[in-house]
Chain A
Amino acid sequence: MIKLLSSSKWKQLILFTVAVLLIPQILPSDYYFLILNIIALNAIVVLGLNLLIGFAGQISLGHAAFYGLGAYISGILTASYGWPIFLSIPVAVLTTAIVGLLVGIPTLKLEGHYLVMATLGFNIIVSIILVQWDAMTGGPSGLAGIPYLKAFSISIDSDRKFYYLVWAVLGVLFCLSLNLIDSRVGRALRAIGEDPISASALGIPVERYKVGIFVVSALYAAVAGSLYAHYVTFISPKTFDFFYSIEVVTMVVVGGIGSLWSGLAGAAILTMLPEILEIVKEYNVLVYGAVLMAVLVFFPEGLLPGIKKLWQKRQGQVHE
C-alpha cells in the first residue's frame, strides 16, 4: 500500500523539515510563534480541502463546521466531562468524520452551486447550534477552561512547544496526502475532477470516492480544530462561522488549486496578510478585499505558480 515518495519529493520535504526546525532559532519574539501556529492549523484544513477541491473538483463552503465540531467535541469532553485528552481528541475526530459521512452521502450527489449551497447551509446550521445550545457549548460567550495538551509529563502550554507539535502533525498529514495523490486513489480523484461521467465510465465508483475524500477532508479539519481548542484553551462560535469556510477556500485558490505545496503557501500568505495589514489600520478590510481581487485577477493559477512563471520569464527560460 505505502509507496515510497519519489526522490524530488524527498528533497522538498527535507528542505521543508529543515526550515521548520530552523525558523524557531531565528525568530525574535514569541508573537511570531502564534502566527506560525495559526498558519499550520489553517494549512491542515487547507490540505484536506485541496484534496476535495483541487483533485476531486468538489467545492465545500462548510469546512468551518468540521473545524468547529473537532474543537467543540474535544473541548466539551475535557472541560465539562473531565475526559483525558488522549481519548477526547480521537473521539472528536472520529465523531466529526461520521458527521462528515452522514452529511457527505446526500450532499455530494449535488453539483455546482447546489453543492456550495448545501455545504454552506450545513455550516450555518452547525453555527446556530453552537450559539444556541448554551447548556452544552457555553453559547455565544464561548467555552472556557479547556486543558492544554499533555503528553506523558510534558504539558504543551507555550506557543513554542505547540509550534513543534502542530508543524509535526502538519508534516505527517502532508506526507500522507502527497502519497495519496500519487496513488490509484489520487488518479481516480483527478479523473473525477476532470469529468465525473467519463470517470464512472472507466469504472471508478464516483460517489464512493467523492464521499470518501469529503470525509478525509472533514477529518483533517477536525484534527486541526481539536488541536486549536487545546492550544488557545478558549473557543467561541464566531471562529467557526461560514466566514472561516470562505477563508480556507480562498487560501486554496489563492495558493494555487490542486498543488499541496501551493495550498501551504496560500495558508501562509492569507494568514499573515491581516497581520501585515495592521499598518493600514482601519483600511485593513478594504485593502484585504482589494489584494484578494488583484491576486485572483492577475494570478488565477495561484500565487506560487504565478510568481514562479514570472520568475522563469525573467530568466528567459520560457519562450512564448
Chain B
Amino acid sequence: MIWQQLPQFIVSGVTSGSIYALIALGFCIIHNATGIVNFAQGEFVMLGGLTIISLNQSFHVPLIIAFPLTIFFVMGVGALLEYGPIRHSKSKDILILVMITIGASIFIRGFSPMIWGKMARTLPPFSGESPILILNAAIMPQTLWILGISFLVLACLHIFFLKTDTGKAMRAVADNRLGAALTGINVDRIVLLSFVLAAALGATAGIIITPITATSYDSGVMLGLKGFSGAVLGGYGNFIGAILGGILLGILESLGAGFISSEYKDAIAFLVLLLVLFWKPSGLLGKGEIRKV
C-alpha cells in the first residue's frame, strides 16, 4: 500500500533536495575561497524569498523581472557581508570569521522583521496548480520549475567554473591560495565574488521554494542547516558532493517522513548523516586531506 507512494516520496524528496543542493553549493563556494562556514547562508535564502514576495505582491513587479532584481539585491547583501565585517576582521582565524557570520545572521534575522513583520508570507506558484500524474506521483508544476531552474543554475555554474577565466581563478584559489596569489590572481576579489555567488545561489533557492513553503523572517535557519548538512554529507567543498548530498538529504527526509514517522523525519535524516560521517569521516566524496607536520 505505502509502497505505491514511493514515487511520490522520491519526487518530493528530490524537490526539497535540489533546494538543499543549491544552498549546499553556496556553502562550498565560500568554503573553497576562504575556508570558513558561512552561517548566514540561510539568511540569503530567507531574504530571497521575502524580497520577491514584496516585489511581486506589494509592488506588482512581474516575476520575470522580480526574479533577477531579487537576486541582485541579495548579491548586494552578500557583498556587504564580505566587504564589511569579514574583510575588516582583525583576525583571519577561521573560528573568528565563522563566528562573525553567525553575528551577521543574527543581525539579518533582527533586521528582516522590521520590513516584513514576523508573519510567514507566500507567493503563488509560477504557473498554475494542476498536478501532472507520472507513475503514481502527482507532480506540481512548481516542482518542475524547481527542478528546471536548479538544473539550469548547475549548468551555468559548470560552464562558469570550467570555461571562464574568473571561474578558473576561483578554482585556483580553492586549490592553493598562495599559489593563486603568486600567479597574479586577486584573491580578495575572488573572496568577494564567492560571497556574491553564494548569495545568488541562496536567493535562487529562496525564490523557487517560496511557493511551496511559506517564508518568514526565521525560515533561513533550518534551510541553511539543511544546506550545510548536505554539503558535509557529500564532502565539504566538493561541488558534485554538495549536489549529491543535498538531494540525498532531501530523499532521506521524505522517505523517513513517509515510512517511519513525520515527527521524527529531521531526527532520522540527521541520524543517517551522523552514521555516514562515522563511516566516511570526510563525507561521501570528500578525499580527506593529507596533512603534513
Contact = CB atoms under 8 A, between A and B. Distances in A.
Contact of B236 (A114, A120, A253): A114
A287 B96 CA distance: 19
A310 interface: no
Contacts of A288: 106, 110
Interface string A186-213: 0000000001011001000000000000
Interface string A278-299: 0000111111111011001111
A285 B270 CA distance: 29
B178 interface: no
A110 B288 CA distance: 10
A143 B102 CA distance: 30
Contacts of A249: 99
A250 B104 contact: no
B107 A124 contact: no
Interface in B249-293: 263-264, 266-267, 270-271, 273-274, 277-278, 281-283, 291, 293
A121 B90 contact: no
A289 B107 contact: yes
B281 A59 contact: no
A283 B104 CA distance: 14
B260 to A, nearest CB: 12
Contacts of A59: 95
Nearest to B278: A106
B90 A298 contact: yes
A124 B267 contact: yes
A117 B232 contact: yes
A181 interface: no
Contacts of A246: 102
A257 interface: yes
B111 A250 contact: no
A253 B31 CA distance: 21
A300 B96 contact: yes
The residue among A129, A253, A301 with the most chain B CB atoms within 10 A of its own CB is A253
Interface in B81-140: 85, 88-91, 93, 95-96, 99-100, 102-111, 113-114
B225 interface: yes
Interface string A113-143: 1101110111011001100100000000000
Give 7 closest A-B pairs by Cβ, nearest first.
A289-B107, A285-B110, A300-B91, A286-B110, A289-B106, A292-B103, A293-B103
10 contacts: A113-B232, A118-B274, A125-B270, A250-B102, A253-B96, A253-B99, A289-B106, A292-B103, A296-B85, A300-B91
Interface of A: 59, 106-107, 109-114, 116-118, 120-122, 124-125, 128-129, 132, 195, 197-198, 201, 246, 249-250, 253, 257, 282-290, 292-293, 296-301
Given A288-B110, A297-B89, 19 more contacts: A106-B274, A113-B37, A114-B232, A124-B225, A125-B271, A132-B263, A197-B293, A198-B293, A284-B110, A286-B110, A287-B110, A289-B109, A289-B110, A293-B107, A296-B99, A296-B103, A297-B100, A300-B90, A301-B91
